[in-house]
Structure 1
Amino acid sequence: MARPRFLSRFLAHPAERPALDWQGSTYTFGELRALGEGAAGWLAGRGVKAGDRVGIQLENGIELVAAHLGCMALGAVRVPLNAHYRALELAPIIEDATPALVITATPEHFSVVRCEPAVGSEPAAGSWDGGELTALLFTSGTTGRPKGAPQTWQMWESNLDALQQRWALSSDDVLWLTLPLFHTHGLVLGLHGAWLRGARVLLSPRFDPVEPPDNATHFYGVPTYYRRWLPLMQAHPEWFTHFRLMVSGSDGLGAELSDAVFEATGQRILERYGMTETVMICSNPFDGERRAGTVGTPLRDTEVRIVEGEVQVRGPGVFAGYWPRPEPGAFTDDGFFRTGDAGALDEAGSLMIVGRKKDLVIVGGVNVSPAEVEAVLGRAPGVAEIGCCGLPDSDLNEIVVAAVVPDGTVELIALRRNLEAAAAALSGLKRPRRYAFVSALPRNALGKLQRGRLPKEVSFDA
């Protein structure tokens, strides 16, 4: 079985080069290779073979890294699982993935599959010559049953090489990685992106808004991270001067937050756009204008078009189809993947994401983007966070409603007036007809707002 080129490049890095820091210990590339081969021997001793699927449900840490490296060395297919999922959420994924083994700290959440708490080390095994399929990632299931998206080494390599041109990541760089490694953002862009380049990773259990490591040159996050970090940035801008690049994705950053971070630190956060099914699609550049509110232009060899308001994409980073049940209509007749995201291209060819196409609220026959309404009302004094969605209406078919997290600076009566004043900037059908004041908005593990849960979990006033 031929060795994937990605793995050949990973194995070619000098053995003595620092590759990973975890809780005070530094691992070189040579030590990571040995860790992977020992873990592969342990997996093989438990009957796992090349091509078998292995579930990995662990928090960030060296145990999780060892599990991934063991699968890579053996040629097993990794199935990253959200470390916070419980039995009900895991059941459909396990049913579809049929893993030979699951590495998990919570075996009580699995009833039909063999579990182990962590990988061990046995006499080295594995030739790093596995097949082209390297992982089976499942979508978040925001709109229903999670769907498996097979990932190949070629998808990752072509995409990460294109990103390297945009982000200027080199073997001299140091990535502070706080994202969960069960998601594309942390696992592929973060961990494997650094491994492909020979860069060093400072792995943390999670993101906390604290002083960053002073040797970090790169940081990848989500808007929630930057929002929580902003007060510290404003108080100690000197703590952020060593970063060469700070990236945001998985949700829209918003011009207001982008500008606030820039004013505090001089760092213009780079926004990009991708999906589990496509890895990265577009990105703003390392050199050149980073346009707040846009996710940049398509990566090398990637085609993007807008058809009836929907973003469609074709290129080497796009998966071949859902597994184990292909979804009719996921691709167009000419091979473009239908993302389900609503977007537009500006005059410079940069993509703007205005929401999920399925998120659109149809008010009296007019399409309303909840993201647009959120951007306007989010500026009202007293608003910490806001999420909008549609509710059925006997007259207009749907109306816009808003769930608001107050920041505590004004009374609720005054906040309601502030929201209505801000909404006056919108045309009538876009203005929320009802409000709810809540302590938190429903979000997934990466902080992305889940608008589909709002009507089920929030009681809006009449």
Structure 2
Amino acid sequence: MLLTSLNPAAVAGGADVDDAVRIGGATLSRSDLVGGATSVAERVASQVGAAQRVAILATPTATTVLAVTGCLIAGVPFVPVPADVGAAERRHILADSGAQAWLGELPAESEGLPHIPVRLHARSWHRYAEPPPEAPAMVMYTSGTTGLPKGVVISRRAIAADVDALAEAWQWTPDDTLVHGLPLFHVHGLVLGLLGSLRVGNRFVHTGKPTPAAYAEANGTLYFGVPTVWSRIVGDPDAARALSSARLLVSGSAALPVPVYDGLVALTGHAPVERYGATEALITLSTRADGERRPGWVGTPLAGVSTRLVDDDGAEVPHDGESIGRLELTGPTLFDGYLNRPDATAEVLTPDGWYRTGDVAVIDAGGMHRIVGRESVDLIKSGGYRIGAGEIETVLLGHPDVTEAAVVGLPDDDLGQRIVAFVVGAAEPQALIDFVAAELSVHKRPREVRIVDRLPRNAMGKVLKKELS
């Protein structure tokens, strides 16, 4: 059962918790969740039906929690819509998904769809049969960095498999209190944070904005954050030290800079767990609660997941910790394709069913993975060499006068691509070029360093490298 912690019989048998969910100023007990979400399920099932989809404005509120949970109980796929999405993108998501109604909060522009409100204090104890595992749970839209966003169809089986594998890797139990302040329209905040908590049965706290003070006051045992969040926490030593009583700090959605990693170790006493995933495959790699944690490395495959590295010709790349290849993977967490886009689905799946992640990586002899970055922007081919931008960025971030760094390959008539670093900090460009040349092979040094005030980032803290030129 996908929502194992929301079994009405378990609640009736004394398994209720007064503060199962704290979000948006509201606190829901486990019986509130069961009764409130089942009431939502009844309204959705009667007005829409399991064969259709509903759109949910994914704000960090109790309304969103009950809307999402109600859909899962009723077996109605939902489409999480970012609250800050632009009008054109919202219209595309609604039209492409075929959503039949808005469930819960209503945006300023409803695009003519009917509205099914969520009544926070309504309760029902109707029993619903568990939908089949292969049934779609949601359609989550990608960020659209290569065109209009595509709808990723994610099954109930994939979510359950992913949460169970992460629970094993992170020793995640009902005794945990999971804290984060991340959006509920991405895998990190929604699937791992909310749905993971519903399945595992732990307490869940959403802080609203993920500020250092909010994290410090939450008294959690398990914290999720993106690198920007952890960087700000390291910059607030008192808040960081307050997390020393936690059990596990988890970072993802982008590479965690080594200085931030080291700062967390020094201030909290915890080496953060790093993990890797994608909307199309959920989380597939992670370091473990009981295993090695190495700055800049995202661990080993989760249970049931297999990975491989291939070169431009499709030949497998050795796992020597140095050779760069295209990362492909397979396993039970894979998506069921892009909605209405068989052509796009075929482009990212190999003939034998492996998912082409679009990322480049290295794997060492022990199976540890390091993500170099996106093949389109982070694999630089310069002077006949294949160079990973992430390796250079890691070195630059180790310089005391650098606070942020992004490395790209720009067209060059002689080299094919020349390495250009965009840096936030007070260092002199030539000093940084010499610094990298002393730490790495000389052909990996930037040919140019540009000092900038800021790097362009998306809502999850990822640098938008295509805007750097």
Matched, 1:287 2:290: yes
User: Which range is displaced more, 344-353 or 416-425?
Assistant: 416-425
Structure 2 residue identity aligned to 1:440 = R
User: Which range is displaced more, 426-435 or 148-157?
Assistant: 426-435
1:103 Cα offset (Å): 4.5
Structure 2 residue identity aligned to 1:399 = R
1:145 Cα offset (Å): 2.4
Map 1:319-398 → 2, pairs under 5 A: 319-326=335-342, 327=344, 328-359=346-377, 360-398=379-417
Aligned residue in 1 for 2:6 = 10
Map 1:191-206 → 2, pairs under 5 A: 191-206=194-209
Aligned residue in 2 for 1:253 = 256
**2:329, 2:355 within 8 Å by CA — same for their partners in 1?**
yes
Structure 2 residue identity aligned to 1:70 = G
SS class of match (2:347): coil
Give CA deviations for 1:12-51 in whole Å, capped at 9, x if unaligned: 5435224112355431111111111222344456x32213
Aligned residue in 2 for 1:35 = 36
Q: Structure 2 CA distance, aligned partners of 1:140 and 1:424?
A: 35
**1:7, 1:128 within 8 Å by CA — same for their partners in 2?**
no
C-alpha spacing 1:303/1:422, structure 2 compared with 1 (3 Å): same
Give CA deviations for 1:173-201 in whole Å, capped at 9, x if unaligned: 11112111111011111111111111001
Aligned residue in 2 for 1:100 = 100
C-alpha spacing 1:262/1:314, structure 2 compared with 1 (3 Å): same
Structure 1 residue identity aligned to 2:288 = P
Aligned residue in 1 for 2:317 = none
SS class of match (1:227): helix
Structure 2 residue identity aligned to 1:38 = S
CA RMSD of aligned residues (A): 2.4
C-alpha spacing 1:97/1:24, structure 2 compared with 1 (3 Å): closer
Structure 2 residue identity aligned to 1:72 = L
C-alpha spacing 1:96/1:350, structure 2 compared with 1 (3 Å): same
Give CA deviations for 1:395-432 in whole Å, capped at 9, x if unaligned: 333222222223xxx4xxx5324323323334454333
**2:6, 2:34 within 8 Å by CA — same for their partners in 1?**
no
**2:63, 2:104 within 8 Å by CA — same for their partners in 1?**
no
Q: Structure 1 CA distance, aligned partners of 2:3 and 2:157?
A: 11
C-alpha spacing 1:443/1:118, structure 2 compared with 1 (3 Å): farther
Q: Structure 2 CA distance, aligned partners of 1:302 and 1:430?
A: 32
SS class of match (1:384): strand
SS class of match (1:293): coil
Matched, 1:310 2:326: yes
**1:381, 1:415 within 8 Å by CA — same for their partners in 2?**
no
1:238 Cα offset (Å): 4.1
Map 1:147-296 → 2, pairs under 5 A: 147-210=150-213, 212-213=216-217, 215-232=219-236, 234-235=237-238, 238-296=241-299
Give CA deviations for 1:292-314 in whole Å, capped at 9, x if unaligned: 22111111111111112011111
**1:160, 1:189 within 8 Å by CA — same for their partners in 2?**
yes
**1:91, 1:110 within 8 Å by CA — same for their partners in 2?**
no
Q: Structure 2 CA distance, aligned partners of 1:230 and 1:362?
A: 35
Aligned residue in 1 for 2:429 = 416
C-alpha spacing 1:117/1:73, structure 2 compared with 1 (3 Å): closer
**1:180, 1:206 within 8 Å by CA — same for their partners in 2?**
no
Structure 2 residue identity aligned to 1:40 = A
C-alpha spacing 1:222/1:323, structure 2 compared with 1 (3 Å): same
**2:44, 2:76 within 8 Å by CA — same for their partners in 1?**
no
1:123 Cα offset (Å): 7.7
1:444 Cα offset (Å): 1.6
Structure 2 residue identity aligned to 1:220 = F
C-alpha spacing 1:22/1:366, structure 2 compared with 1 (3 Å): same
Q: Structure 2 CA distance, aligned partners of 1:336 and 1:382?
A: 42
C-alpha spacing 1:424/1:291, structure 2 compared with 1 (3 Å): closer
Q: Structure 1 CA distance, aligned partners of 2:241 and 2:152?
A: 41
Give CA deviations for 1:103-136 in whole Å, capped at 9, x if unaligned: 586734554x416495336785783644521101
Q: Structure 1 CA distance, aligned partners of 2:423 and 2:191?
A: 34
* Number of residue-to-residue matches in the alignment: 442
**2:437, 2:444 within 8 Å by CA — same for their partners in 1?**
no
1:380 Cα offset (Å): 2.9
User: Which range is displaced more, 113-122 or 30-39?
Assistant: 113-122
Q: Structure 2 CA distance, aligned partners of 1:264 and 1:123?
A: 45
SS class of match (2:242): helix
Structure 2 residue identity aligned to 1:253 = L
User: Which range is displaced more, 10-19 or 439-448?
Assistant: 10-19
Give CA deviations for 1:56-102 in whole Å, capped at 9, x if unaligned: 22321112112212322332111112222111333332232121123
User: Which range is displaced more, 212-221 or 113-122?
Assistant: 113-122
C-alpha spacing 1:383/1:43, structure 2 compared with 1 (3 Å): same
Aligned residue in 2 for 1:80 = 80
Task: Name the TM-score, length of structure 1 as normaliser.
Answer: 0.88
**% identical equivalent positions:** 35
Q: Structure 1 CA distance, aligned partners of 2:127 and 2:459?
A: 33
SS class of match (1:50): coil
User: Which range is displaced more, 418-427 or 331-340?
Assistant: 418-427
Matched, 1:443 2:454: no
SS class of match (1:6): coil
**2:6, 2:33 within 8 Å by CA — same for their partners in 1?**
no
User: Which range is displaced more, 267-276 or 13-22?
Assistant: 13-22
**2:225, 2:250 within 8 Å by CA — same for their partners in 1?**
yes
C-alpha spacing 1:417/1:235, structure 2 compared with 1 (3 Å): farther
| Structure 1 stretches lacking a partner, 5+ long | 456-462
